[in-house]
Amino acid sequence: MGSSAGLLAKTPKITGGASMTKKIQLGVFFGGRSGEHEVSLMSAKSVLSVLAPDKYSIHQVGIDQYGQWWTGKNTLSALEQNEKSALHHALILPKPGAATLYALRRGKENEQIMKPIADLDVIFPVLHGTFGEDGTLQGLFELADIAYVGAGVLGSSVGMDKGVFKDIMRAHNIPVADWIVTTRGDISSRIDEVIDEAESLGPYPLFVKPANLGSSVGITKAKNRSDLLDGLAEAAEYDRRVLIEKGINAREIEVSVLGNDHPRASIAGEIRPSDEFYSYRAKYLDGKSDLLIPAPISSDLMEKARQLALKTYQAIDCAGMARVDFLLNRDNDELLINEVNTIPGFTSISMYPKLWEASGISYSQLIDELIELALERKKERDQTKRNYGE
């Protein structure tokens, strides 16, 4: 487990995957086929702005909302403007070896030609939500045997599904708010039973959430049965699994975690949202939410939050980074785990880098360390025996 002594540890130098005389070939992936596509573009812009050109050769790969991969000059700007005519389709083969990034181009007879762009040393997926943060992309990187920033397939998929995540928390005696999970099919075929099950959690308000999404996309606060019906319909548009959660009179506390097998936790911060809860609008649009760093809580609660964040991180086998979000019950000061974000927001106003900055690690140092952790994780993964025989 982490400790306060490890909080301000120095950021290691980039050494793995390439010598100090050779730039690291870094693929930065962003966008994605997800309701969090625009948030990913904002995060990517911030990450790209601090990558040192003397350390990295940067190769941008943008994934549009249809799931198509693109690369070329100013890929991020092209996706922001939805103008991809100057870009080329990109791909990585799920084949261990050189981890080559290819661009698909047209030959003289209009046939498609795979042109190698770079043999990547490491990938930084700056993607949020489905098909980026949920283990699917991580599975491709595993098949291609390439280093990548963040949690592996298991940690990513468990961290994404709010229902399975809560099951894991309960198994580890980590406190969470009461919940049920239903499905899109149940909502359409047995809505009365779903409503009864939801109302058995306790009095309104209840929170309705797509099980597999972040950035508060599709989340609603139901104050009555009519709200609940509307919230279920909205959440079901974004995921086939829908979570309904007991409402807690809570403050929102967050802790950033950094590391692989021996992670460390930042100080805790508090979010005071401009909306009734920390909605998408409050996070990204109106700019009126307050981020309090450090959180105005007792030293005992601060340390408890840090230790619970580390326990949560290790319970789902996270790696690299995660932001652990808490609900602090105003009525009894009980800390409940709300969720874990295995690829947290990296915009200029995002809590994950801000908490590390307040803990002594600058934004650019944080990016460097995450890349180093990815290379370290790959080196450890390479020790696994892949065949069995006498």
DSSP 176: B
Instruction: Enumerate the H helices of 34-122 as residue ranges.
Output: 37-50, 75-80
Q: Predicted confidence band at 269 (pLDDT cuts at 50, 70, 90)?
A: very high
Q: Which fold has domain 179-246?
A: Dna Ligase; domain 1 (3.30.1490)
Burial label for 50, CB within 10 Å (0-12, 13-18, 19+), is middle
| Dihedral pair phi/psi, residue 108, rounded to 5° | -60, -30
For the stretch 313-332, pLDDT in tens is 999 999 999 999 999 999 99
Number of helical H runs and strand E runs in the chain: 12, 17
Which of 96, 136, 129, 125 shows the shortest CA–CA distance to 27?
125
Amino acid found at 197: E
Query: For residue 378, which of 320, 294, 297, 305 has the smallest C-alpha distance?
Result: 320
pLDDT in tens, 84-122: 999 999 999 999 988 999 999 887 777 889 999 999 999
Torsion sign (Cα): 227, 233, 239, 243: positive
Q: Domain locations in the chain?
A: 4-149, 159-175+249-381, 179-246
- In our burial notation (b when 16+ CB lie closer than 10 A, e otherwise), range 82-103 reads eebeebbbbebeeeeeebbbbb
Provide CATH code, domain 4-149. Answer: 3.40.50.20
Under CATH, which number does the domain 159-175+249-381 receive?
3.30.470.20
Q: DSSP secondary-structure letter at 231?
A: H
Task: Name the pTM for this structure.
Answer: 0.89
DSSP string covering 326-380: EEEETTT--EEEEEEESS---STT-HHHHHHHHTT--HHHHHHHHHHHHHHHHHH
Instruction: Render pLDDT for 134-185 as a digit per residue (tens, 0 to 9).
Output: 999 999 999 999 999 999 999 999 999 999 999 999 999 999 999 999 999 9
Question: What's the token pair of residue 89?
Answer: 């389709």
What pLDDT score was predicted for residue 213? 72
Which residues are CB-contacts of 224 (< 8 A; sequence separation ≥ 6)?
204
